[in-house]
Structures are given as structure tokens and as C-alpha cells.
């Protein structure tokens, strides 16, 4: 365990240096909200309910809400004027009978460990509490706020339990529980006493177990062994993203003009570079041998025509 507070218990002229340790821990099963598809954790943003904008931590202040729903904003200067305590002393106010402390008032529990040089006065206070069957009502400052607490003994260790203020305990304002119709008849009361006696016994913490936590752990273990686990990729870091400054300025100008009622000109589309015509593939030249072969038949045809025309002229004469 790690000490969460260091100070001293003072009663009369006796001062006992001690360290404070949390005596309890919460074993409630904790689930996280994740994306069903990939197991990524769900993040939440700090959004103002009025303008819908995301708010940074530097712009967040403390607000006190009244019963009628109004908000009073408290500044750092206002908080600095509030009464705070930073004493490292657990001051014993009085020793009271155990039965006078309503368990409903008890809040958090802490173990007190003495310094090596203070074991004797620590044991003296412990034995005095046990012998007198009383609790010590003390005042202590934890996290700058003064609270009341009690010191009692558990397993030869002094335990400090902080207490709620009296106005923090609600009154059970139920109707009809004090009517004459709810009073038990003698026969009913005798039967109830018999039931109590049949279930009488001593409290043993080992008789009870957190079956829900055990069932959840068994379920998770079975899924791990069966390979039903998702390795969520690392969250995307958007802190280094490049912002289009020109586009952001353009939107800012348009928003400013719109707020003044001025017409907003539509952004001109970017000009695309002119498309150059595709070059035609150069014509392939036929080989010289093939060209000569194509021209030769044409010359031969002309000679035949001249030879055929000579006999026709003679016959005509």
C-alpha cells in the first residue's frame, strides 16, 4: 500500500506521527464503452450546450447550480476566498461511547500507521480506546477541506473513518408506517420471533462471495482462451494534422459577412489546366520493295492499253 497522507494524531499533550492508508478498495466490475466493430474505446468531447462548440480545459470554470436551475460561475479568486484547511493534524475533540455513533454517518475508512519513533504513544492510544469502549471524535483536513471523523480499533490497528455531516443523511419520510393498522398482533410477533431464532447465527465473511464478479472473470477468460479478442489499433493522433489555412480563412470571411447580412459570394471553382490534344502516331512507311511492287502493275497496264489501240486504228483506216 502507498500512504496518501502524512500527519499526526494529537490528544492532550501527546503527539503521534502517522501515515494514512486507504483501508478499502472497490471490486465492482468495470466495463468500458467500445466500438462494437473493432473494440476501439469511445471518446467524449467537452461541448458547450449553448453554442455547440468544443471547450478547452482552460475555458472551463466551476459553476454552482441553484435549486431553480440558475448557474452561478465561480472564478479562481472566488474560490481562493473560501475557508480551507491545510493542517497535517488529526485533532482529538472528545471520546464518546460507541453506541452514540450512528453507522449511517460513517463514510470512508483509513488505516493509521505510526512512525517507527511513535509506536509507544500509538499503542497507548489504541489500548485506551479498547479499554474504554469509546471512539475518538476528531477533526482532520483532507484535500484542503476540514471534515469530522472517528478513531476506533480494528485488529490492533487504529482506523479512522470519515463521517458525513448530519444534513447529508436523508430523513425517511414514509407515510402510513406509524398507523395502528400496521401494528403486529401478539401471535404474529411470536411467529416472527421464532423465524428470527431459526435463522440466528454468527456473521462469517467467508460465507458470502461475489458470484457476479467471478462469473464475469470466467466469461472473459473463456473468450481469451478461445481467441475471441480484438487487438484495437492505436488511436489516431490528430494533433499533427495539417489544416487548410486558406479554406479556414475563407469560411471565416463568409461567416463574418453572413452575420452582417452581406451577400456571400460563392467560391470560384479552381481552374483546371487545359488539356493538350493527343499526339497522332506517325505513319509507318512501307518498305521500298513493297512500294515498287505496287507501282509496277500500274505501268504494265498502260503499255497494254497502247498496244491494243494500234490495231484498232489500222482497221479503221
- Given this model, what pLDDT does residue 287 score? 44
Grid cell in block for residue 305:
492499253
- Given this model, what pLDDT does residue 300 score? 46
Q: pLDDT tier at 314 (50, 70, 90 boundaries)?
A: very low
Residue with more model confidence, 241 or 115: 115
Residue with more model confidence, 115 or 184: 115
Tell me the per-residue pLDDT of 49-95, one tens digit each, with 9 for 90 and over: 899 899 998 999 999 999 888 999 998 888 887 776 667 899 999 99
HEC string of the chain?
CCCCEEEEEEECCEEEEEEEEECCCCCCCCCCCECCCCCCECCCCCECCCCCCECCHHHCCEEEECCCCCEEEECHHHHHCCCCCCCCEEEEEEEEEHHHCCHHHEEEEEEEEECHHHHHHHHHHHHHHHHHCEEEEEEEEECCEEEEEEEEEECCEEEEEEECCHHHCCCCCCCCCCCHHHCCCHHHHHHHHHHHHHCCCCCCHHHCCCHHHHHHHHHHHHHHHCCCCCCCCCCCCCCCCCCCHHHHHHHHHHHHHHHCCCCCCCCCCCCCCCCCCCCCCCCCCCCHHHHHHHHHHHHHHHHHHHHHHHHHHHHHC
Tell me the per-residue pLDDT of 214-246, one tens digit each, with 9 for 90 and over: 898 899 889 888 888 777 666 655 544 444 556
Question: For the residues 102-127, what does the mean pLDDT come to?
Answer: 94
Q: Flag whether pLDDT at 256 surpasses 80.
A: no
Q: pLDDT tier at 100 (50, 70, 90 boundaries)?
A: very high
- Given this model, what pLDDT does residue 86 score? 63
Amino acid at each position: 500500500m502507498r500512504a496518501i497522507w502524512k500527519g499526526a494524531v494529537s490528544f492532550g499533550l501527546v503527539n503521534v506521527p502517522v501515515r494514512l492508508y486507504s483501508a478499502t478498495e472497490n471490486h465492482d466490475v468495470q466495463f468500458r464503452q467500445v466500438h462494437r466493430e473493432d473494440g476501439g474505446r469511445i471518446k467524449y468531447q467537452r461541448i458547450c450546450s449553448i453554442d455547440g462548440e468544443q471547450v478547452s480545459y482552460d475555458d472551463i470554470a466551476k459553476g454552482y447550480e441553484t435549486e431553480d436551475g440558475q448557474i452561478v460561475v465561480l472564478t479562481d479568486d472566488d474560490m481562493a476566498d473560501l475557508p480551507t484547511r491545510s493542517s497535517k493534524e488529526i485533532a482529538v475533540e472528545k471520546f464518546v461511547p460507541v453506541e452514540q455513533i450512528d453507522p449511517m454517518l460513517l463514510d470512508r475508512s483509513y488505516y493509521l500507521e505510526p512512525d517507527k519513533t511513535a509506536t509507544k504513544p500509538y499503542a497507548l492510544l489504541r489500548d485506551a480506546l479498547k479499554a474504554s469502549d469509546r471512539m475518538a471524535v476528531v477533526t482532520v483536513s483532507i484535500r484542503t477541506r476540514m471534515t469530522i471523523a472517528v478513531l476506533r480499533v480494528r485488529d490492533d490497528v487504529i482506523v479512522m473513518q470519515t463521517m458525513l455531516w448530519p444534513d447529508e443523511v436523508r430523513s425517511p419520510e414514509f407515510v402510513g408506517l406509524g398507523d395502528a393498522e400496521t401494528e403486529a398482533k401478539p401471535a404474529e410477533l411470536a411467529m416472527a420471533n421464532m423465524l428470527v431464532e431459526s435463522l440466528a447465527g454468527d456473521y462469517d465473511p467467508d460465507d458470502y462471495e461475489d458470484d457476479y464478479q467471478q462469473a464475469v472473470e470466467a466469461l472473459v477468460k473463456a473468450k481469451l482462451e478461445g481467441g475471441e479478442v480484438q487487438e484495437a489499433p492505436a488511436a489516431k493522433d490528430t494533433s499533427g494534422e495539417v489544416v487548410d489555412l486558406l479554406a479556414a480563412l475563407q469560411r471565416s470571411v463568409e461567416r463574418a459577412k453572413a452575420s452582417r447580412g452581406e451577400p456571400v459570394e460563392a467560391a470560384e471553382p479552381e481552374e483546371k489546366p487545359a488539356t493538350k490534344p493527343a499526339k497522332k502516331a506517325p505513319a509507318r512507311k512501307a518498305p521500298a520493295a513493297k512500294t515498287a511492287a505496287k507501282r509496277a502493275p500500274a505501268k504494265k497496264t498502260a503499255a497494254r492499253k497502247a498496244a491494243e489501240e494500234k490495231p484498232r486504228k489500222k482497221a479503221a483506216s
